Amino acid sequence: MIQLGTSTRGALSRERDVREAYAAHSGELYGFAVRSLGDAGLAEEAVQETFVRAWRAGDRFDPKIGSLRTWLFAILRNVVIDLGRARAVRPAVAEGGIEPSVEPLDEALLAWQVEEAMRRLGEDHRRVLVETYYRGRPYAEVAEELGVPEGTVKSRVYYGLRALRVVLEEMGYED
């Protein structure tokens, strides 16, 4: 089960609350929108529609059910579905080398979470995970390239996974 966000806030019925919510969450929402829609213009549209819907329904936000971040992602998910349906009648155009996601939306959300968490890792940790796991390179080869003992690559993989877990937890992931 993927949970997003742990912080709780008040309603979004005031414009100041929307501004604060935008400052806190727009980057992630936009990143996921681009990931899902593969189009920067559509992603902007999706994020705008998300905050406008959130503002309209601000007094209905209930922090006892979930965090503001979770609520905004839930709204964005519906907006992305709506935009995806609208786009189904016209061809997709990728921008800036970003290919539109073809995964089901929940899979795209999981993928985006891991990718965002990897971006937040330190360079040393991300590097060893990319080289050993994603590129499937032997530890000895990676160690030689980095100029460190093979044991150090293994320990970096361990601390990298630990760090990744911490980042995912900060993002609201619960297993």
Partner 1 sequence: MKTRNDCREWRELLGAYALGHLEGDERAGLEAHLEGCGACREELAALAPVARMLPHADPARFELAPEPPPELGRRIASTIEGEKAAAKQRRRRRTLGGFAFGGAAAAVAAVLILFVFGGGDPAGQPEQQVKFAGLPEGIAIDATLQPHAYGTEIHMYVHGVPSGTLCRVWLRGPNGVSYPAGTFRYRWGDDSDAVLSSALDISRTRQLVVDTGKRTFVAPVNPPGPTATIRQEEST
By CB under 8 A, name the binding residues for partner 1. 15, 18-19, 22-23, 26-27, 30-31, 34-35, 40, 43-44, 47-48, 51-53, 55-57, 60, 65, 71, 73-75, 77-78, 96, 98, 107, 110-111, 113-115, 118-119, 126, 129-130, 132-135, 139, 151, 154-162, 164-165, 168, 175
Q: How many residues does the chain have?
A: 175
Instruction: Please name which of 114, 92, 3 lies closest in space to residue 39, comparing C-alpha atoms.
Output: 92
3/78 with CB nearer partner 1: 78
| Least distance (Å) between residue 26 CB and partner 1 | 5
The percent of the chain in helix, strand and coil, each rounded to the nearest 5, is 70, 0, 30
Report the nearest approach of partner 1 to the CB of residue 88 (Å): 19
Nearest to partner 1 of 53, 87 (CB atom): 53
Residue among 93 and 158 whose Cβ is closer to partner 1: 158
The amino acid that residue 140 corresponds to is A
Q: How far is the CB of 7 from partner 1 (least distance, A)?
A: 17
Given the complex with partner 1, which of 76 and 147 has the nearer CB atom? Answer: 76
User: Based on CB atoms, which residue is closest to partner 1, 30 or 87?
Assistant: 30
Virtual torsion, Cα 118, 121, 127, 130, nearest 10 deg? -20
Q: How far is the CB of 65 from partner 1 (least distance, A)?
A: 8
Write the DSSP string, 82-108: HHHHHHTTS----BTTBPPP-S-HHHH
How is residue 120 written in tokens? Answer: 């937040």
Residues 6+ positions from 172 with CB-CB distance below 8 Å: 3, 4, 5, 6, 67, 69, 70
Task: Please report how close the Cβ of residue 40 comes to partner 1 at its closest, in angstroms.
Answer: 7
